[in-house]
Amino acid sequence: MPPRQTSVGDTILRGKKVVVLTGAGISAESGVRTFRDNDGLWENHRIEDVATPESWARNPSLVWKFYQTRRRQLLEVEPNPAHMAVAHLEGKCKSLVLVTQNVDDLHERGGSSAIIHMHGSLRSLRCQNTGLSEVRMGEHDLAEGFVLCNCCTVATMMRPDIVWFGEIPLEMSVIQKEVEDCEVFIVIGSSGHVYPAAGLVNLANSNGAHTILVNFELPINGRDFDEVHIGKAGEILPELVENW
């Protein structure tokens, strides 16, 4: 049975506890490259060569160059209407927690506040010794050379503050608790392929939440949602939020 296509205004979010999960699709509309192309490559690199702890240990220069390029690209993109709509939604609910799989800062610049970056952030770097993260977006921080931390007596080389394949996403216990407690769970721009994020809709469903999908096309887990809206988030989400 196909998911129900719901008309605008069918769902009212006022006074509800809401969790929003966003994926690469919402940032792609701002020109941010999605995590892998149809040929399985990520900006012409194999995932195994730039996005695993093993690749960092094997060839840190390649991994560093790859992520420095992505960090500099943050300065070239802007939030789109979907980011603004998510921020506007915060004021319409009893509470809203925004969980994003994206490592860019477009939600912050779009006006959202309570954000959990489950896959890390390009804006920050992480000390390999202490594990502490620092926002490092100065001109020197974005250059080709490695960056040293400010937290150690003897400065340590920092790594990208990104959750690589084979590593555990950040704040999963907090995310699961928020999804278990929410009354409405909204997913925007996610492929439904990457776990554990793709399984959160099932957690929400099992706890009685109303689940909503906003996506360019029906993803692999699209039939797990109570309500589905197909289209570009930047085009359809502002009107949906206005009427919720």
- Are residue 157 and residue 115 in the same domain, yes or no? no
- Are residue 95 and residue 18 in the same domain, yes or no? yes
Task: Report the domain count for the chain.
Answer: 2
Positive/negative CA dihedral, 236, 240, 241, 242: positive
What are the C-alpha distances in Å from 69 to residues 38, 74, 154, 175? 21, 9, 27, 29
- Are residue 177 and residue 115 in the same domain, yes or no? yes
pLDDT of residue 195: 86
Residue 9: pLDDT band (50, 70, 90) is very low
We report the CATH number of the domain holding residue 114 as 3.40.50.1220
Spacing of C-alpha 231 from chain mean position: 19
What are the pLDDT digits (tens) for 54-97? Answer: 999 999 999 999 999 999 999 999 999 999 999 999 989 999 99
Strands 133-135 and 120-127: antiparallel
CA–CA separation, 197 and 199 (whole Å): 5
pLDDT of residue 1: 40
- Are residue 42 and residue 102 in the same domain, yes or no? no
- Are residue 28 and residue 148 in the same domain, yes or no? no
Residue 4: pLDDT band (50, 70, 90) is very low
- Annotated catalytic residue, options 83, 117, 119, 229: 119
Average pLDDT value over all residues in the chain: 91
Nearest to 207 by CA among 19, 12, 15, 3: 19
Instruction: Check if 119 is active-site.
Output: yes
Q: Which residue has the higher pLDDT, 5 or 18?
A: 18
What are the pLDDT digits (tens) for 121-159? Answer: 999 999 999 999 999 999 999 999 999 999 999 999 999
- Are residue 20 and residue 91 in the same domain, yes or no? yes
Percentage of the chain lying above the pLDDT 90 cut: 79
Q: Is the pLDDT of residue 6 over 90?
A: no
Strands 41-42 and 45-46: antiparallel
- Are residue 138 and residue 209 in the same domain, yes or no? no
Residue 191: pLDDT band (50, 70, 90) is confident
- Are residue 128 and residue 221 in the same domain, yes or no? no
In this structure, which amino acid lies at residue 66? F
- Are residue 61 and residue 174 in the same domain, yes or no? no
CA–CA separation, 244 and 236 (whole Å): 13
Residue 194: pLDDT band (50, 70, 90) is confident
Mean pLDDT, residues 201-228 taken together: 94
We report the CATH number of the domain holding residue 46 as 3.30.1600.10
- Which residues constitute the domain of residue 243? 1-32+78-119+169-244
Q: Is the pLDDT of residue 2 over 50?
A: no
Structure tokens belonging to residue 146? 């490695």
